[in-house]
Amino acid sequence: MLFEHKVFTTHQITDLAYPSQRAANMRLLNLYKWGVVHRFRPHRDVGTHPMYYILDSAGATMLAHEEGIEPSALNYNRDREIGRAYSLQLAHLVGCNGLFTSLVRQSGQPGTTGQLTAWWSAARCGRHWGDIVTPDGYGRWRQAGLDVEWFMEFDFGTEQLARLAGKLVRYERLADTTGITTPILMWFPTTAREVTARRALLDALQGLRRPHQVPVATTHANAARDPLDASEARWLPVGATPTAGRTALTDLPTLWPHLPPPTPPLESAGQPAISRSDVAPPRPTPPVLSGHHMKRATS
């Protein structure tokens, strides 16, 4: 998971793999001592950040041998990974990862019937759709026998709204090319940012040839109790008024009844050797572009 998604906080790693933060801290300390993971703590003017973790050299070597490939085939670079501590994209990356680790946490709650069955990073999305558009992530959630899939766009308020809205043209092209319509979920840091972004997005949708192929819903950090809990009733479709109420992740299909349900997974060759973005045991099933032909794929 660290290889695919680059960096996690202690809290996110606890959500992914451990019954408590104490258990995670004890294990992570050993992994750090052994050189399997590297850790750092970004500066914060008020309070302190949790510890952040990236994959270290020993971890990359172990991962390569586990997959039966040479370490050089991973394209792992320790200096590049450690440099993430100083990257301007660090907060964006960790925030987006938090939207998905919150769903992993939800999957493990007693009595929860839903499960995150796929999670693709921006890098993996770029390998498949990067000639058209690169989402910040792709996810799939299953509950009560129904699947919901989406592309994630995580906005920290730094991107120009014209550029953000311009992505809808590319998502329309992706839908045209693949023949598959996938909802786009957009997260914003504040209420004001969401309001102004929704105006720009609505204008962009009205300028599309087939806006029904680009279903968009938005949220902001304060729309629910947990800023990064994607499962809560926080999603508002573009074109709807706030008085219409916000929708939970599992109820998104009711917003766009014209969309067919996601197709079941099909096996396909030619996938990346390292597929740590999969949330076992189910496999991800988004469309993959090969040339300009559509096919379904799993890892």
* Closest alpha carbon to 154 in 102, 115, 104: 102
The pLDDT, as a whole number, for residue 205 is 96
pLDDT single digits (tens) 88-132: 899 999 999 999 999 999 887 777 778 899 999 999 999 999 999
Higher confidence at residue 208 or residue 241?
208
For residue 9, pLDDT over 60 is answered with yes
pLDDT band at 267 (very low <50, low <70, confident <90, very high): very low
Report the relative pairing of strands 184-188 and 146-154 from DSSP bridges. parallel
* Closest alpha carbon to 127 in 295, 292, 288: 288
Q: Which of 163-190 are b and which e, b meaning 16 or more Cβ less than 10 Å from the residue's Cβ? A: ebbebbbebbbbbebbebbbbbbbbbbe
> Which domains does the chain carry?
1-87 (1.10.10.10), 90-299 (no CATH)
- Rounded Cα distance, 120 and 107, in Å: 17
The pLDDT, as a whole number, for residue 263 is 67
Other beta carbons within 10 Å of 73? 12
- Rounded Cα distance, 141 and 208, in Å: 28
Quick one: average pLDDT of 222-246?
91
Q: What percent of the chain has pLDDT over 90?
A: 70
Q: What are the beta bridge partners of residue 139?
A: 119, 150
Plot region of 68 (φ>0 → left; ψ -120 to 50 → alpha; else → beta): left
- Rounded Cα distance, 37 and 45, in Å: 26
* Closest alpha carbon to 104 in 277, 285, 275: 277
- Rounded Cα distance, 238 and 202, in Å: 6
What is the pTM assigned to this prediction?
A: 0.86
Residue 10 in tokens? 């202690």
Question: Are 296 and 265 contacting, i.e. CB atoms less than 8 angstroms apart?
Answer: yes
Higher confidence at residue 39 or residue 159?
39
